[in-house]
Structure 1
Amino acid sequence: MSAGAAGGNALERALREVAPERYDAYENLLRALAEGQVWMLLWHGSPGSPDAQYGNMDVAGQGYAPAATSSGQLAASGWARAHEVISGPEIAAALYRTRWGLWLDPHVPGGGVGIPWADLRRVAGGLDRLPAGPLGLSEPQVSAPQFYALLEQQAVDVRPVRALRRAWVRPALGEPYLAIGLDLYDTSPPAVEAVRALVQRALPHAPEGLAVSTVVLADDYDPVALWMRAHARPFFDREARPGPSQTSAQPGYGWPQQPWTGHPAR
């Protein structure tokens, strides 16, 4: 059996197990996609040609590109135009950036399964690195005054920080955690690492057993960042603080002082 057929069969098996509220089965489907490949239906052109265009579906106002999970399913679909075989991570990375999802085997009884773009982002970026959806998001209920106070105190001296926000995240699978949203003037790697180091230094003052993660609010594809931008008020806001830093920013410049050069995490 070829590697492609094995990947397709793994996807088909996982697809058959998916059912409402079966988040574990859905996670297995995402894992099979991350390790396998799909047969993308091309509406125009041929694989690799400049005019190649995937097929498209509209489901409840959301766009999806249809795909078959194996060569056998492609044949069963009756698709008569060209197709492209591509790895799961590759197609996930290509689709989620345009906010398109992937619909697997729409021709089978029951209509197959759609994977929204937010979950394709997890496939592309690493299933273990990003929380499993659907996510429950709310204001934190846990009391952590020392932790928040230390974050505020240190943020004053770490100039990439414009503001800090927070959210309580409840993944579909796994333990809930506190997310600290980083609203930054500069999202370069040195600046991001400097602010994450700030959070790490404050962690010993967090309540015992509390899981804490950081999210860069400039990430337009992170559902936690999008929620915090829309709903969470900053608990630290440099531009709302009295003092020289509030008035030193000049029109056309994002920095309240000279650009941040970064420093090694300690």
Structure 2
Amino acid sequence: MSASGTAAAGHVEQTLRQVTPGRYDAYEALLRALATPTSGQVWMLLWHGQAGSPDAQYGHMDVDGHGYAPCVTSAQELSASGWNRSYEVVDALDVARVLYPDHYGLWLNPHAPGGGVGIPWLDLRRIATGLDRQPAGPLRVSEPAIEIPHFYALLTQNAHRTPAVRSLRRAWVQPAFGAPYLAIGLDVYDTSPTAVDSVRAMMRQSVGAVPDGLPVSTVAMSDEFDPVAMWLRASARPFYDREAHAAPAVQNPPGGYGYPPAGGGY
């Protein structure tokens, strides 16, 4: 292994050693290490084929009903694992882009004492699309308890004047790491640049009614991979519906929505 490869493995493994249950700050540091090109390399275990060949296929693990592709974090860990098939060394960023659309996670060093560390597919999506663009999970999502009727009234009024908007939903999101915030789910008819600009203008015209210090974010209801959008589609009745058709509410899902049970991922 080259000196740069050794340094890359050391960076990932240094952060990996700090990850323990409940240490979401350490887990976020691990995600950042994996998201860094070159220094975030992993050794993917190939069940079929050779590295770079068309028939190459990653291995598979099933943990609590969730699929993961196993990997190791260095040549030393590869040797310790006893893996006797082929492998390929690749940036975890590239692996994340391949795995998350199929709802596959990444499992680091499954041979290690304690079973290694699993990265759920939702966090691979964060790696692939930008860690700072998505909240840190597992998420606790619920109906908002804070009373801000003026904001909702103004937002509803502005939405009615914005033809691109079909409906609006709301949720209170508490990330595992970071400040909680109010999420507004946007269901739109049109995603053309003009329509998107009109929806952004609607939000700008409305957020002035939000109390100081209350963070507000938006989420596209059409995003099939977003955990907040997943919760909103399943559990939130629209507070504005242009077509006056609201789906019946269902019971809120338990725990961190969209993530495996505690112990299955961290």
Common fold by TM > 0.5: yes
Q: TM-score, normalised by structure 1?
A: 0.87
CA deviation map 1:233-261 (0-9, x unaligned): 101000018xxxxxxxxxxxxxxxxxxxx
CA distance in 2, matches of 1:82, 1:10: 24
Match of 1:9 in 2: 10
Q: Does 1:168 align with 2:172?
A: yes
Corresponding letter in the other structure for 1:139: E
CA distance in 2, matches of 1:188, 1:54: 38
CA deviation map 1:193-252 (0-9, x unaligned): 4213211221111111110000001101100000001011101000018xxxxxxxxxxx
Match of 1:23 in 2: 24
Change (3 A) 1:87 1:59: same
Match of 2:162 in 1: 158
CA distance in 2, matches of 1:125, 1:153: 33
Question: 1:100 is matched with which residue: 94, 104, 126?
Answer: 104
Question: 1:50 is matched with which residue: 38, 44, 54?
Answer: 54
Corresponding letter in the other structure for 2:176: A
Give, in angstroms, the shift of residue 18 of structure 1.
1.0
Q: TM-score, normalised by structure 2?
A: 0.87
Are the aligned partners of 1:196 and 1:214 in contact in 2 as well (CA < 8 Å)? no
CA deviation map 1:43-75 (0-9, x unaligned): 111122211100000111110000011121112
Say which structure, 1 or 2, has more relative contact order (CA 8 Å, 6+ apart): 2
Match of 1:194 in 2: 198
Change (3 A) 1:70 1:193: farther
Are the aligned partners of 1:99 and 1:117 in contact in 2 as well (CA < 8 Å)? yes
Identity %: 62
Corresponding letter in the other structure for 2:166: R
CA distance in 2, matches of 1:184, 1:47: 43
Which structure 1 residue ranges, 5 or more long, are not aligned? 242-266
CA distance in 2, matches of 1:202, 1:233: 20
Query: Match of 1:17, SS?
Result: coil
Match of 1:62 in 2: 66
Match of 1:130 in 2: 134
Corresponding letter in the other structure for 2:79: A
CA distance in 2, matches of 1:189, 1:231: 29
Are the aligned partners of 1:43 and 1:53 in contact in 2 as well (CA < 8 Å)? yes
Are the aligned partners of 1:66 and 1:103 in contact in 2 as well (CA < 8 Å)? yes
Give, in angstroms, the shift of residue 190 of structure 1.
4.0
Query: Match of 2:118, SS?
Result: strand
Corresponding letter in the other structure for 1:106: P
CA distance in 2, matches of 1:79, 1:216: 42
Are the aligned partners of 1:15 and 1:112 in contact in 2 as well (CA < 8 Å)? no
